[in-house]
Structure 1
Amino acid sequence: MTNIKSLRGRDFITLMDYTTDEIKYLLGLSRDLKSRYYQGERYSDVLRGKTLLMIFEKPSTRTRVSLDVAATQLGMHVIYSNPQELQLGRGETIADTARVVDRFVDAIAARVYKHESLIEMAKYAVVPVINALSDREHPLQVLADALTLWEVKGRLDGIKLAFVGDGDNNVAHSLMIIGAKLGWEVRIISPKKYWPSKFAELLTEDSRRTGANIVISDNIEDVRGVDAVYTDVWVSMGMEAEAEERKKVFRPYQVNAEVMKKAGPQAVFMHCLPAHRGEEVTDDVIDGPQSVVWDQAENRLHTAKAVLISLLA
């Protein structure tokens, strides 16, 4: 395996900080680790003796379990906590917490309400800080998404992906970022009120370099001809007060059989999960033959391993 030494010791907060070659390296390593996994090589000593601290402000299934299993299978010790179990819950600052735990552990994975909390943590911790989800981005998720598309489409280049629903959510943002880095066409199809703020212009340089195309639209017809139709929940964690309004606004953007028919038989269906069945997606789509959501979920394990190895090995 080719080793990109520049990854060692880095934070993994946003893919905007990573080059196209570095992202392709992480994906290649993920694919290699998955192959080894199915050949029976599930456990390794490569990170034995190291410790991962996970701090989760929000509930989690895929991110928490995949990181925990990935770290354990690589020989790491894992500590899971929420702010109420730490002095963070009693008013200790993020900076002071980061300064302390930095002297104990080898990496910190944090799932936070505010992206700025990750920035603050990384400012005061020398060890790598991994974004396990913030309100702005979810880089671990889209790394697994890219691996899934590589597997089912046989390529990373020239992918056309339509994200349907809340265009200003963390997964939509991260899909735009990885799309710009890999030269994809990413179509954000969303009510105008929920179009992604600022991200398109932030990605102009990467898009120009790779030939990527970021399209923002409110027309569901723009799913036609894509390789993948992607959606996420309409009401993200922390937005429960807006639930009824959001359900009304997003109803025309439900991914159902009609939408998948517009996209075409070549299109796979993707969802980061958990899904609110009957809202953003119907049962016949998520459980149907075009769905790759369970492959996406599994690939969270293999890409988590790749990130941990690259930052710590």
Structure 2
Amino acid sequence: MKKKSFLLATVLLLALSMVLAACGGGNNEGDNAKGGDEGGEKPKFISIVTGGTGGTYYPLGGAFADIVKDATGIETNAETSGASAENMNTLKNGDAEIAFTQTDIASYAKDGKLMFDGNKVENVQAIGTLYPETIQIVTTKKSGIKSVADLKGKKVSVGAPGSGTNPNAEQILEMYDLTFDDIEKQDLSFDESVAGIQDGTIDAAFVTAGTPTGAVEGLSATEDVVIVPIDKDKADALIEKYPYYIHDEIPSGTYKLAEAVPTVAVQAMLVVSSDLDEGTVYDITKAIFENLDKVTHAKGKLINAEKAINGVGIEVHPGAQKYYDEKGIKAE
């Protein structure tokens, strides 16, 4: 009789243990790190991948990390990286949660095109755009180049191999019925391009970067810099075909320019792993856009929630979209 009672007690204890384990099963560290549904448990740690220490992404990322940590309580860290293309792959591999990239690079990654051929990135969505990365077609007065059409037959740098500048150049030339076969294409970095213009080994260069760009400013100290304009009708056609572009201009006074020059830009943007839950991304989006006064970097003045979904080029994360909907913000 005592033996039967003991066995019954043992079975009941085992059943109770299984029920308690099931109730607590969703509270392990792995689930917490990923986040849950809207209103679910927040992740303990978030990593933001940026760019090199000498660029703009890294200091902005540090400011955003501090803002997110203070506003949400989530331990957030900004990490250096190889910037846009590398960052998309980092999120794909699950090695970070948030990343800086360019709108065009994000589109190539989602579509599996160009440098992402055969390597489509499907688990990334947008938080929002930040500031323009202006396409600057740089030359000098002595080159005689005044229009994109004038580039035909010239030695033109289209950016370093694998860079985002290369497809920018190709797509803009396309709007003028030109291809790389119509120019003497040079694959040079920004610094190499400026040096080439200065010593006369190339005639012009495409540069995709926030303005003013240091390398071009250096050139303007010794040469009469000319920025080749992009005509409005060509810019409109470009934006219609490639929606990650926006209209932009380089202000007068930049590089000692006498007048503002119309051009186009892609944009720096923040993207997020689609694995992060809606509530967490909403909190992050709200924290960043409502604490921009804490960003001391000069680019912080260009960041505006009202423009954050213009030209994103990829799907906006539901958590970020919820914030924009609350504020009545719509894409233009």
Q: TM-score, normalised by structure 2?
A: 0.30
| TM score, norm. by length of structure 1 | 0.31
Structure index of larger Rg: 2
Ranked by relative contact order (alpha carbons within 8 Å, sequence separation 6 or more), the top structure is 2
